[in-house]
Structures are given as structure tokens and as C-alpha cells.
Structure 1
Amino acid sequence: MSKISAVIIDDEINAIDVVKAKLERYFPHVEIKGTCNQSELAISLIATVQPDLVFIDIEMPTLSGFDVIKSFVKRTFEVVFITAYDKYAINAFKENALGYILKPIDRLDFIKTVSMALVRINEKRFSDIPNFENDTSSEAKKLAVLHKGEYFFLGCHKVLYFKANGSYTHIYTEKDKFLISKNLKTLEALISNWNFIKINRSYLINPSFVQGISKKSGGEVIMSDGTNLVVSQNIKESVFDQLSKDIIFT
């Protein structure tokens, strides 16, 4: 897997050390190209290193993290803000950051945010390769999914269901789970010929992997991996009608 470069900017040296330690433990393929504890030097560090990913504190003397990022008109890197205050959340997203991580850094939040960053970075890399694009035609039967720096081609018969996660979507197969940087609505349009069924705002299921129907929670589908998924009440009748087409009830 090709390395992804990163820089860490924080006026607290111990905070830099925490981010470094977590990257080394959970994301060893992310190469830390530089660190900086003075905001006035951060701009030159980013310009010199030209990293793929920037971790930056928001409240720093002289320049804030927002000031540093705004100085790059044509940004080529992804940003994750690190802060002790959640009041900056809205501004972080206005700056098109992938997210912000609150101090003290929670392990799961860190892994989730950095994972999303790596997905976006890798997809951006592959989008620069001529003629390497997803086939978005209505006849496409495979989805190109980027995972750990490599593309996997998932056939529609391999996918159990899709789960929405904000601007991202999780893809569940019998053996693996993937994350892509497309929201569920966009994905639904791309795979309109796959005959998947939307059972609520968050799930799009493959009817071939539905093993049963439950009356729990007002109506659920039981997937082959043992997951029970709730069906929205306003579309329950339509969903169950579609699932019943190829079933003989005795």
C-alpha cells in the first residue's frame, strides 16, 4: 500500500505525541512527515511537506487552526481539526474538514475519523488516473470499492446491504465491511438496476440475503448475517410485497 503523508500541528507537544502514537498504532501506513508546535510556522511546514493529511489544533497563540487552513486557497490536503472545545464543530465543517476530534482523544473517534480521511484521500488518488472510473451506466453490475489502497470489484450478488453514515456509506458482505465516500442517496441512483430495496432512510438491502420477516418493532427483515433491520412503517407494505414475490407461503 502506498504511504499517506501527514503533519501534526498543535501548540501542546504532549498532544502531538498522542496523535503520533495513535497513528503509529492504528495506521502504520500513515507517514508523519513533520510536526509543529508554533502556529506561525505551520503554514510553511504544510507548504514545504505538501502532506495528504493535516491534523491541526484550533486554539493556538498567534494564529488559530482556522487561520492556518484558510491561508491555502487551493487546498490539496484533507484536514482533521483537534480541539478541546466542541463549540468549533460548525466552523470545522464550514472549512470542509473531515471532522474534528475532541481532546482528550477517544480511540474509537480517532479511528473512525482517520479511516474516513484515508478513504477520501485514496479515492482522490485513483480519480486522477486516466480512464479509471466507476462505470455509472445503468448496466453496471459491479462496484469499485477502495479498501486499504487497493480497488476491489464487488458484484451485486456479493452485497448483503448498504448502511448510511452521513456523507459515507458502509457496504456489508458476508465476510467484509467497506466504507465509501458516497452517501446512500447517490449510491442508490448508481445501482438502480441492482433491484435492492430501501427499507428505511439508512438501509438498502439485497433481497437475496433476506432470510425471514419478524413482527418485532412493527416489522423487521432478518438478514443472512443474523442482523435484524427495522422497516419504516410508511413503506412496510411495499417492502414486504417486494420480498414476497418469489416466496410461496404454506
Structure 2
Amino acid sequence: MKLSCVVIDDEPSGITMVEDLIGQTPGTELRSSFDNAFDALNYFHNHGPVDVVFSDISMPFINGIEAAKLLEVHCKFLIFITAHRDYGPESYEVNADGYLLKPLMRVKFTELVNSLLEKKNKSRLLYMQKDCLLIKGALKNNYVNILTRDILYIKALANYIQVILTAETKTTHMGLIDMERALNGNHAFLKINRSTIIAVDKIDRIDGYYVVMKDEERFTVGRQFKPAFNEFLSQRTINK
């Protein structure tokens, strides 16, 4: 398991410094780097969230502190990197997960990465209960408990997913792959296309490669998912 990372710094030397450390530190992988927060936000809109954002604070147009509220919904951890010690209190006011001073020291960077990996491992344990899922809510350090028996289907939308329940809908900023891992081995759920996981007991009917759910929502089975879907039908059909 690795931490996916994005770097934001208006100085090329600052970007290079963090990129080099990411490349030298086990457990991390660089997704992209940007010289301003706006381009990073556009990236998240198109490609989804990452685990860690390493952001400089002193930047033109919008600094790291001001951008924190916009960035934190697109990452599990927001780490500020700056040459100015006096930003410490402000960084914690916006719920930053770490604060590193330039020039960066490899030991300090590695210690921070290891602590984030440990937090990520612990957070994954939240999803491993058989009969319920604990998903991140709209606010930082806020979680919502969901009973798996109430799930109709799960849809990926841009940089978040929607969990459609029998009585309501819950939204959480995480990738569908994380939900797949959480449901791994749970045969009550089936992924039928790149953006949809369904609860098989909530299927109303199947028309060829179209699945209609109890709420009449209709999904198409993706080409690469047809073999698994056919196997599912073979195992569940009585009068073949």
C-alpha cells in the first residue's frame, strides 16, 4: 500500500525538493505537481482525490492557508511545507495533518510518511466489518455508519462516491476502489461497470445486460464486467 501524493509550490526548487523525497521514500508515489492551488483543484476534479497533498503556504493569488478548505476535501492528509516558522498556529487552525519546515530533512519527511501510513492502515480497518461500513462524512474527522443490508448500490461520481440506501443517500470523498476493498469477499455486492457496485439482493430485474434495481434505477453492465456478471447469473439462476 502506498500514499498517492500531489505537490503544490510556486517555486520550481520547492517542487523538486519534495518530488525527490517522495521518490526516495518507500510507501509514497507522486501523482502530479503544480505551481498553484487552482491547477491542483482542476486536477482533482478530473482525476479524483489522493492520499496526501504537500502544499507550500506562501504562494501568490491564494496561499496554502486560504486554499486549505478547498484542498482538504480532495485528500486524506494535508501537509504544509514552508520556510516560515510563524505559520504553525494557522496551519493547525485549518486542521492540517502536518507541518514541515524548509529545507526539508529526509529523516523528518520519512517519519511523517510513516505516521500517515499508519493512520491510513487504521482508517481502512473501519471498513472491514461484515455488516456495516464506516465512511467519512462531509467534515474532517466525521464518520457515518452504514448498515450493508440497507445499501441499494454505490456510484462513483467525479471525485466522490454516493452510497444509495433504501431510505437516503450518503456522499463521501473516497475512490470506488477503496469501497471495493472494503467489500472484498462480500458476495452480497457485485461491481457491474467501472463506476457502479450493486447489492445483488436489491435487483428487481435483469434485461440482457441491463440491471434494474428496486428503486427503478437502471445500469448497464460494462464490457469487461460481463464475464463475472454471466458467472453470477449462472450461479443464481434456477431454471437455466
What TM-score comes out, normalization by structure 1 length?
Answer: 0.48
Q: TM-score, normalised by structure 2?
A: 0.50
Say which structure, 1 or 2, has more relative contact order (CA 8 Å, 6+ apart).
2
